[in-house]
Amino acid sequence: MSPSQESVFPEYETDTSQTSKLIRKFKETPFVPIGMAGFVAVVGYGLYRLKHRGNMKMSLHLIHMRVAAQGFVVGALTCGVLYSMYQDYVKKPKE
């Protein structure tokens, strides 16, 4: 790219570190990282409870943990979509 040309996406080219990209992404869509953190929390709790599951079968325990993790992620994404719709259609001033 020659110095006389202007960059098309200057804000994306200046953020080169992973931390700054993650912070920017968190500001743009806050519910995606929340969903990812919830997924990790449910999986961590499931692994912790795996040792103390009693007489429950392993496959049933894994199915319950998978459903809980997927439910958390789908719920967070749904909240994110509702939040973005609120930002675009309700909070945005009428033009």
pTM: 0.59
- Confidence (pLDDT) at 6: 62
pLDDT tens by residue, 10-32: 555 554 788 888 788 778 777 77
pLDDT tens by residue, 41-81: 888 888 888 888 788 888 888 898 889 888 888 888 888 88
CB-based contact 25:33 (threshold 8 Å):
yes
Count of helix runs (H) and strand runs (E) in the chain:
4, 0
